[in-house]
Amino acid sequence: MSKITFPKDFIWGSATAAYQIEGAYNEDGKGESIWDRFSHTPGNIADGHTGDVACDHYHRYEEDIKIMKEIGIKSYRFSISWPRIFPEGTGKLNQKGLDFYKRLTNLLLENGIMPAITLYHWDLPQKLQDKGGWKNRDTTDYFTEYSEVIFKNLGDIVPIWFTHNEPGVVSLLGHFLGIHAPGIKDLRTSLEVSHNLLLSHGKAVKLFREMNIDAQIGIALNLSYHYPASEKAEDIEAAELSFSLAGRWYLDPVLKGRYPENALKLYKKKGIELSFPEDDLKLISQPIDFIAFNNYSSEFIKYDPSSESGFSPANSILEKFEKTDMGWIIYPEGLYDLLMLLDKDYGKPNIVISENGAAFKDEIGSNGKIEDTKRIQYLKDYLTQAHRAIQDGVNLKAYYLWSLLDNFEWAYGYNKRFGIVHVNFDTLERKIKDSGYWYKEVIKNNGF
């Protein structure tokens, strides 16, 4: 196989999120988050797991930075827990919470690792949920208030910023399917929530510019390529509609200042029309420095008049693919096609892959090693496609591997392992997997 080399300044990173790794859920003045409430409610999370302790990163961040340094990670994407900063969501600031992120950021910098901050990775202060959460438009102002404190304290030392992580998942899983916090099941609410999340993104970007922060800001969407099950016009239309609902619903407002027509039409048929001030879309579509997305898998969609939206997953196709432990199909070409689509439909933006990786059932072998060959193969294949897109002119700037550590995988608890570092959840001992050593070589050689 010929050698694959990435551009000279390509950023090799790794990602985590506060609730999934920090633990210390009630320490140093932290307020309750919707994920604390949700995971403490019986029946919501597999095996009754919670993020109370998680990887205990709050106390072990020094060790975790040592591990990053050992692997050679160039940039670390982490999120800030809003209720650590504002236990009530707004009003009184908790200095101890802020100090933690200052210590973390400074230690990263001392170790030559570029910090990349996600402002919102799903752990809304419960007190704000009590006032209506993301359905309440006021939450967008509380988000700005919180963002301002973070920008003020870390804006001059953190070069990369993400306003939100996967607003599409917050909307769909949190407010329509009810399998993520806050566990709401209502279509209209989920759409209002998606709009307010986008609006809060716009308000935070505006503030970021007004504060003259010399750094880059974008948003991390959940995107996968939606393939039609066949060349039939009805399947093609179905796949387009499904991508509009899941992807363009977020891409278009942010990058084009409007919602996609086919999605609006479908919601109208269901009796839902969003109403909001005209200026919202202007705020939402302010220029950003890059568009980021998390990508794991691909969708195959068929026309299906018996389903409510007129389409459904093409199971006869999906069942032919190899899958990760999440049941997600492995289809690396989907990453290439997605990168090309963004490049073509959205005016050659700078792109960041803010998450990519795979869950497998990893075990420590009798030789003491974690030989996660499937993960290595997955990463190799996806990175090969990312590289191919760069060769074809796509402005891909950075890649964040999900995840640095095995961690709390939301509704699945600790049952899904995404890490390139193994975590024993009884002893909290960390151990670099073979994929971690492989990634180390990739970073060192800027390719493989």
Task: CB nearer to ligand FCB: give 77 or 430.
Answer: 77
For residues 178 and 185, the answer to whether their CB atoms sit within 8 Å is: yes
Residue 11: partners with Cβ closer than 8 Å, 6 or more residues away: 74, 75, 114, 397, 398, 399
Outline where DSSP puts E strands in 284-420: 290-294, 299-303, 311-313, 351-356, 396-402
Q: How far is the CB of 296 from ligand FCB (least distance, A)?
A: 7
Options 14, 189, 222, 385; binder of ligand FCB; rule CB under 6 A: 222
Strand 430-432, strand 421-423: pairing: antiparallel
Options 143, 402, 438, 439; binder of ligand FCB; rule CB under 6 A: 402
Q: How far is the CB of 179 from ligand FCB (least distance, A)?
A: 12
For residues 426 and 54, the answer to whether their CB atoms sit within 8 Å is: no
Q: How far is the CB of 185 from ligand FCB (least distance, A)?
A: 19
Q: How far is the CB of 209 from ligand FCB (least distance, A)?
A: 26
Q: Catalytic site residue 261? A: no
For residues 54 and 21, the answer to whether their CB atoms sit within 8 Å is: yes
Half-sphere exposure at residue 32, Cβ-oriented, CA atoms within 13 angstroms: 14
Residue 391: partners with Cβ closer than 8 Å, 6 or more residues away: none
Q: How far is the CB of 439 from ligand FCB (least distance, A)?
A: 17
Q: How far is the CB of 143 from ligand FCB (least distance, A)?
A: 18
For residues 356 and 399, the answer to whether their CB atoms sit within 8 Å is: yes
Task: CB nearer to ligand FCB: give 242 or 356.
Answer: 356
Q: Which of residues 261-320 bind ligand FCB (CB under 6 A)?
A: 294
DSSP 432: E
Selected range binding ligand FCB among 148-156, 199-207, 265-273, 402-410, rule: CB under 6 A: 402-410
Options 10, 418, 438, 448; binder of ligand FCB; rule CB under 6 A: 418
Task: CB nearer to ligand FCB: give 123 or 343.
Answer: 123
Task: CB nearer to ligand FCB: give 51 or 349.
Answer: 51
Options 64, 252, 299, 409; binder of ligand FCB; rule CB under 6 A: 409
Here's the x/- map for ligand FCB, 233-262, by CB under 6 A: it reads as ------------------------------
Annotated catalytic residue: which of 166, 192, 299, 409? 166
In 10 A of CB 293, how many CB atoms? Answer: 25
- Tokens matching residue 405: 């550590």
As a whole number of angstroms, the distance between CA 186 and CA 196 comes to 15
For residues 123 and 34, the answer to whether their CB atoms sit within 8 Å is: yes
Here's the x/- map for ligand FCB, 170-209, by CB under 6 A: it reads as ----------------------------------------
81 near ligand FCB, judged by CB under 6 A: no
Annotated catalytic residue: which of 22, 32, 192, 355? 355
- Tokens matching residue 211: 């504060």
Outline where DSSP puts E strands in 136-266: 160-165, 216-222, 226-228
Q: How far is the CB of 401 from ligand FCB (least distance, A)?
A: 11
* Amino acid identity, position 239: A
User: Peptide bond before 182: cis, by omega within 30 degrees of 0?
Assistant: yes
Radius of gyration over every alpha carbon of the chain, rounded to an integer in angstroms: 21
Options 4, 12, 13, 17; binder of ligand FCB; rule CB under 6 A: 17
Task: CB nearer to ligand FCB: give 222 or 285.
Answer: 222
As a whole number of angstroms, the distance between CA 375 and CA 379 comes to 6
- In 3D space, the residue among 53, 119, 103, 109 whose CA is nearest the CA of residue 76 turns out to be 109
Q: Which of residues 117-176 bind ligand FCB (CB under 6 A)?
A: 165-166, 169
- In 3D space, the residue among 295, 51, 14, 272 whose CA is nearest the CA of residue 181 turns out to be 51
Q: Catalytic site residue 70? A: no
Task: CB nearer to ligand FCB: give 331 or 418.
Answer: 418
Here's the x/- map for ligand FCB, 341-380, by CB under 6 A: it reads as --------------x-------------------------
Options 336, 410, 414, 438; binder of ligand FCB; rule CB under 6 A: 410
Distances from the Cα of 418 to the Cαs of 190, 289, 357, 366, in angstroms?
28, 28, 7, 21
Task: CB nearer to ligand FCB: give 302 or 422.
Answer: 422
Q: How far is the CB of 26 from ligand FCB (least distance, A)?
A: 22
Helices (H) and strands (E) in the chain, counts: 17, 13
Which positions are catalytic? 166, 355
Q: Which residues bind ligand FCB (CB under 6 A)?
A: 17, 20, 165-166, 169, 222, 294, 355, 402, 409-410, 418
